[in-house]
Protein backbone atom coordinates (compact mmCIF):
# COMPACT_ATOMS: atom_id res chain seq x y z
CA UNK A 1 0.00 0.00 0.00
CA UNK A 2 1.39 3.40 -0.97
CA UNK A 3 1.77 6.38 1.30
CA UNK A 4 -0.84 9.10 0.88
CA UNK A 5 -1.18 12.79 1.71
CA UNK A 6 -3.17 11.77 4.78
CA UNK A 7 -0.25 9.65 6.00
CA UNK A 8 2.03 12.67 5.72
CA UNK A 9 -0.53 14.77 7.57
CA UNK A 10 -0.44 12.34 10.50
CA UNK A 11 3.32 12.72 10.77
CA UNK A 12 3.48 16.42 10.07
CA UNK A 13 0.75 17.38 12.52
CA UNK A 14 2.45 15.35 15.23
CA UNK A 15 5.85 17.01 14.78
CA UNK A 16 4.94 20.51 13.59
CA UNK A 17 5.58 21.95 17.04
CA UNK A 18 9.30 21.44 16.38
CA UNK A 19 9.04 24.35 13.97
CA UNK A 20 8.13 26.74 16.76
CA UNK A 21 10.74 29.43 17.54
CA UNK A 22 12.94 29.23 20.65
CA UNK A 23 11.01 30.02 23.81
CA UNK A 24 10.58 33.73 24.54
CA UNK A 25 8.91 35.00 27.67
CA UNK A 26 6.70 38.04 28.12
CA UNK A 27 4.32 39.30 30.82
CA UNK A 28 4.80 36.56 33.45
CA UNK A 29 1.75 35.03 35.12
CA UNK A 30 1.10 35.85 38.78
CA UNK A 31 -0.85 32.82 40.02
CA UNK A 32 1.97 30.98 41.77
CA UNK A 33 4.49 31.66 44.52
CA UNK A 34 7.93 30.60 45.61
CA UNK A 35 8.65 26.87 45.61
CA UNK A 36 10.49 25.39 48.62
CA UNK A 37 14.23 25.57 47.98
CA UNK A 38 13.90 27.94 45.02
CA UNK A 39 15.69 31.30 45.53
CA UNK A 40 13.08 33.14 43.43
CA UNK A 41 9.36 32.84 42.86
CA UNK A 42 8.01 31.84 39.47
CA UNK A 43 6.90 35.45 38.93
CA UNK A 44 10.46 36.69 39.47
CA UNK A 45 11.93 33.93 37.31
CA UNK A 46 9.66 34.67 34.36
CA UNK A 47 10.22 38.42 34.65
CA UNK A 48 13.95 37.79 34.43
CA UNK A 49 13.49 35.41 31.50
CA UNK A 50 11.47 38.08 29.72
CA UNK A 51 14.12 40.73 30.21
CA UNK A 52 17.10 38.56 29.32
CA UNK A 53 15.37 37.08 26.25
CA UNK A 54 14.65 40.56 25.00
CA UNK A 55 18.27 41.58 25.51
CA UNK A 56 19.60 38.47 23.74
CA UNK A 57 17.16 38.85 20.83
CA UNK A 58 18.22 42.44 20.31
CA UNK A 59 21.92 41.58 20.53
CA UNK A 60 21.96 38.58 18.18
CA UNK A 61 22.02 40.03 14.68
CA UNK A 62 23.23 37.18 12.47
CA UNK A 63 24.43 33.60 12.74
CA UNK A 64 24.95 30.54 10.59
CA UNK A 65 24.45 26.89 11.52
CA UNK A 66 23.87 23.41 10.16
CA UNK A 67 20.91 21.15 10.88
CA UNK A 68 20.43 17.45 10.36
CA UNK A 69 16.81 16.25 10.14
CA UNK A 70 16.15 12.54 10.56
CA UNK A 71 12.72 10.93 10.48
CA UNK A 72 12.09 7.22 10.97
CA UNK A 73 8.58 5.83 10.62
CA UNK A 74 7.68 2.21 11.43
CA UNK A 75 4.21 0.88 10.77
CA UNK A 76 1.18 1.23 8.50
CA UNK A 77 1.17 1.46 5.51
CA UNK A 78 4.96 0.88 5.24
CA UNK A 79 8.23 1.75 6.95
CA UNK A 80 10.06 4.87 5.83
CA UNK A 81 13.36 6.56 6.73
CA UNK A 82 14.90 9.83 5.56
CA UNK A 83 17.61 12.34 6.42
CA UNK A 84 18.26 15.89 5.28
CA UNK A 85 21.13 18.30 5.99
CA UNK A 86 20.39 22.02 5.81
CA UNK A 87 22.54 25.13 6.17
CA UNK A 88 20.78 28.00 7.92
CA UNK A 89 21.54 31.71 7.75
CA UNK A 90 19.67 33.79 10.36
CA UNK A 91 19.42 37.57 10.24
CA UNK A 92 17.54 39.65 12.77
CA UNK A 93 14.65 40.12 13.05
CA UNK A 94 13.51 36.56 12.36
CA UNK A 95 14.71 36.16 8.77
CA UNK A 96 16.01 32.66 7.96
CA UNK A 97 17.43 31.32 4.72
CA UNK A 98 17.60 27.54 4.28
CA UNK A 99 19.96 25.80 1.86
CA UNK A 100 19.52 22.05 1.46
CA UNK A 101 22.95 20.40 1.36
CA UNK A 102 21.98 16.73 1.05
CA UNK A 103 18.96 14.41 1.10
CA UNK A 104 18.81 10.65 1.53
CA UNK A 105 16.04 8.12 1.97
CA UNK A 106 12.32 8.51 1.33
CA UNK A 107 11.51 11.21 -1.23
CA UNK A 108 7.97 11.27 0.15
CA UNK A 109 9.22 12.36 3.58
CA UNK A 110 11.44 15.03 2.03
CA UNK A 111 8.58 16.49 0.02
CA UNK A 112 5.68 16.13 2.44
CA UNK A 113 7.35 16.40 5.86
CA UNK A 114 10.79 18.04 5.82
CA UNK A 115 9.80 20.72 3.32
CA UNK A 116 6.65 21.46 5.33
CA UNK A 117 8.70 21.75 8.52
CA UNK A 118 10.87 24.45 6.96
CA UNK A 119 7.77 26.26 5.72
CA UNK A 120 6.18 25.92 9.16
CA UNK A 121 9.23 27.49 10.79
CA UNK A 122 8.88 30.51 8.54
CA UNK A 123 5.20 30.69 9.49
CA UNK A 124 6.04 30.54 13.19
CA UNK A 125 8.52 33.41 12.80
CA UNK A 126 5.74 35.76 11.65
CA UNK A 127 5.41 38.62 14.14
CA UNK A 128 1.79 37.84 15.01
CA UNK A 129 2.51 34.12 15.38
CA UNK A 130 5.47 34.92 17.63
CA UNK A 131 3.14 36.89 19.90
CA UNK A 132 0.57 34.09 19.93
CA UNK A 133 3.17 31.40 20.69
CA UNK A 134 5.45 33.30 23.09
CA UNK A 135 6.09 31.85 26.54
CA UNK A 136 3.83 34.49 28.08
CA UNK A 137 0.89 34.88 30.43
CA UNK A 138 -1.22 35.58 27.37
CA UNK A 139 -0.59 32.05 26.17
CA UNK A 140 0.38 30.03 29.27
CA UNK A 141 -0.16 29.53 32.97
CA UNK A 142 3.04 29.01 35.00
CA UNK A 143 3.65 27.07 38.19
CA UNK A 144 6.98 26.46 39.94
CA UNK A 145 7.74 22.74 40.03
CA UNK A 146 11.09 22.81 41.77
CA UNK A 147 14.71 23.93 41.84
CA UNK A 148 17.73 21.74 41.06
CA UNK A 149 21.44 22.20 41.70
CA UNK A 150 23.32 20.64 38.78
CA UNK A 151 27.02 20.48 37.83
CA UNK A 152 26.30 23.31 35.37
CA UNK A 153 24.57 25.43 38.04
CA UNK A 154 21.09 26.00 39.43
CA UNK A 155 17.97 25.47 37.34
CA UNK A 156 14.34 26.37 37.95
CA UNK A 157 11.77 23.82 36.82
CA UNK A 158 8.51 25.42 35.71
CA UNK A 159 5.29 23.72 34.69
CA UNK A 160 3.57 25.36 31.71
CA UNK A 161 -0.07 24.98 30.72
CA UNK A 162 -1.37 26.44 27.44
CA UNK A 163 -4.41 28.70 27.41
CA UNK A 164 -5.39 27.85 23.83
CA UNK A 165 -5.01 25.02 21.31
CA UNK A 166 -2.61 26.88 19.00
CA UNK A 167 -0.67 24.24 17.04
CA UNK A 168 2.68 25.67 18.20
CA UNK A 169 1.86 25.63 21.94
CA UNK A 170 2.63 22.80 24.34
CA UNK A 171 2.02 21.57 27.89
CA UNK A 172 4.78 20.23 30.06
CA UNK A 173 7.88 21.51 31.84
CA UNK A 174 10.68 23.92 31.08
CA UNK A 175 14.09 24.20 32.74
CA UNK A 176 15.47 27.73 33.25
CA UNK A 177 19.14 28.48 33.91
CA UNK A 178 19.30 30.32 37.26
CA UNK A 179 22.17 32.57 36.14
CA UNK A 180 21.28 33.44 32.54
CA UNK A 181 17.50 33.04 32.89
CA UNK A 182 17.34 31.15 29.60
CA UNK A 183 15.28 28.08 28.79
CA UNK A 184 17.71 25.15 28.60
CA UNK A 185 15.29 22.25 28.13
CA UNK A 186 11.63 21.54 27.33
CA UNK A 187 9.75 18.28 27.88
CA UNK A 188 6.18 18.49 26.66
CA UNK A 189 3.33 17.37 24.46
CA UNK A 190 1.25 19.43 22.00
CA UNK A 191 -1.44 21.65 23.48
CA UNK A 192 -4.00 19.77 21.41
CA UNK A 193 -3.89 16.31 19.91
CA UNK A 194 -3.05 17.28 16.32
CA UNK A 195 -5.06 14.48 14.73
CA UNK A 196 -7.48 11.69 15.61
CA UNK A 197 -4.91 9.33 14.12
CA UNK A 198 -2.21 10.45 16.57
CA UNK A 199 -2.50 8.60 19.88
CA UNK A 200 0.29 10.41 21.70
CA UNK A 201 3.23 12.71 20.99
CA UNK A 202 6.17 13.41 23.29
CA UNK A 203 8.57 16.25 22.58
CA UNK A 204 11.94 17.19 24.04
CA UNK A 205 14.00 20.27 23.14
CA UNK A 206 17.49 21.02 24.43
CA UNK A 207 19.46 24.25 24.10
CA UNK A 208 23.18 25.09 24.22
CA UNK A 209 25.05 28.30 25.04
CA UNK A 210 27.06 29.66 22.10
CA UNK A 211 29.02 32.90 22.51
CA UNK A 212 26.62 34.03 25.22
CA UNK A 213 23.45 33.09 23.32
CA UNK A 214 21.19 30.11 24.09
CA UNK A 215 20.36 28.35 20.82
CA UNK A 216 18.70 25.01 19.92
CA UNK A 217 20.90 21.93 20.28
CA UNK A 218 18.52 19.04 19.65
CA UNK A 219 14.81 18.47 19.12
CA UNK A 220 13.34 15.00 19.55
CA UNK A 221 9.70 14.04 19.06
CA UNK A 222 8.07 10.64 19.11
CA UNK A 223 4.51 10.03 17.96
CA UNK A 224 2.39 6.91 18.33
CA UNK A 225 -0.16 6.33 15.55
CA UNK A 226 -3.50 4.72 16.42
CA UNK A 227 -3.07 2.18 13.64
CA UNK A 228 0.11 0.92 15.27
CA UNK A 229 2.84 3.02 13.65
CA UNK A 230 5.50 5.08 15.40
CA UNK A 231 7.28 8.16 14.03
CA UNK A 232 10.53 9.46 15.52
CA UNK A 233 11.93 12.81 14.42
CA UNK A 234 15.27 14.25 15.52
CA UNK A 235 16.77 17.58 14.55
CA UNK A 236 20.44 18.13 15.39
CA UNK A 237 21.74 21.71 15.42
CA UNK A 238 25.51 22.15 15.00
CA UNK A 239 28.37 24.30 13.69
CA UNK A 240 27.02 27.59 15.01
CA UNK A 241 28.94 30.70 13.95
CA UNK A 242 27.79 34.04 15.35
CA UNK A 243 28.56 36.56 12.61
CA UNK A 244 27.14 39.75 14.07
CA UNK A 245 26.21 40.66 17.63
CA UNK A 246 25.95 43.90 19.55
CA UNK A 247 27.25 44.42 23.06
The total number of residues written for the chain in this structure: 247
- Residue-wise pLDDT tens digits, 202-246: 999 999 999 999 999 999 999 888 777 899 999 999 999 999 998
Q: Is residue 90 part of a domain?
A: yes
Q: Is residue 247 part of a domain?
A: no
Q: What is the pLDDT of residue 24?
A: 41
Q: Is residue 186 part of a domain?
A: yes
Q: Supply the pLDDT for residue 46.
A: 87
- Give yes or no for residue 116 having a pLDDT over 90: no
What per-residue confidence (pLDDT) applies to 234?
95
Q: Are 233 and 84 in contact (CB under 8 A)?
A: no
Which residues are registered as beta bridge partners of 160?
142, 172
- Split into its structural domains, the chain has a count of 1
Whether the CA torsion 124, 130, 134, 138 is positive or negative: it is: negative
SS3 call for 10: helix
User: Which residues lie across from 105 on neighbouring strands?
Assistant: 82
Is residue 246 in a domain?
Answer: no
pLDDT digits (tens, 9 = 90+) for 31-52: 334 455 678 999 999 889 888 9
Q: Are the C-beta atoms of 112 and 106 separated by less than 8 Å?
A: no
How many C-alpha atoms does 104 have within 13 Å on its Cβ side?
Answer: 6
Q: Give the pLDDT of residue 35.
A: 54
- pLDDT score at 123: 72
Per-residue pLDDT tens digits for 51-82: 898 899 899 999 999 999 999 999 888 899 99
Confidence tier at 25 by pLDDT (50, 70, 90): very low
What's the rounded Cα separation, in Å, for the pair 133 and 164?
A: 10
pTM to 2 decimal places = 0.83
Examine residue 233 and state whether it is found in any structural domain, yes or no: yes
* Residue 106 is assigned to a structural domain of this protein: yes
pLDDT of residue 126: 67
Nearest to 34 by CA among 25, 24, 46, 22: 46
Q: What is the mean pLDDT of residues 157-175?
A: 90
Give yes or no for residue 30 having a pLDDT over 70: no
Residue 132 near residue 140 (C-beta atoms within 8 A) = no
Q: How many CA atoms lie within 13 A of 10 on its CB side?
A: 24
Asked whether residue 14 is assigned to any structural domain, the reply reads yes
Question: How many of the other CB atoms lie within 10 Å of CB of 176?
Answer: 27
The CA-atom distances, in angstroms, between 121 and each of 25, 88, 94, 204 are: 18, 12, 10, 17
User: Which of 109-118, 127-136, 216-225 has the weakest average pLDDT?
Assistant: 127-136
Domain extent, residue 203, equals 5-241
| 123 within domain boundaries | yes
Amino acid sequence: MHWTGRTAAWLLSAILITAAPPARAQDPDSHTTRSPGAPLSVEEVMKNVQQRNRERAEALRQFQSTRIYHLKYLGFPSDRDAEMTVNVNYQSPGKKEFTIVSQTGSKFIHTHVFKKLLEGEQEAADQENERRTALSAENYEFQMDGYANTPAGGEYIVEVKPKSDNKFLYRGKIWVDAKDFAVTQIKAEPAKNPSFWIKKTEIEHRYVKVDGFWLPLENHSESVIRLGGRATLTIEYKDYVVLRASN
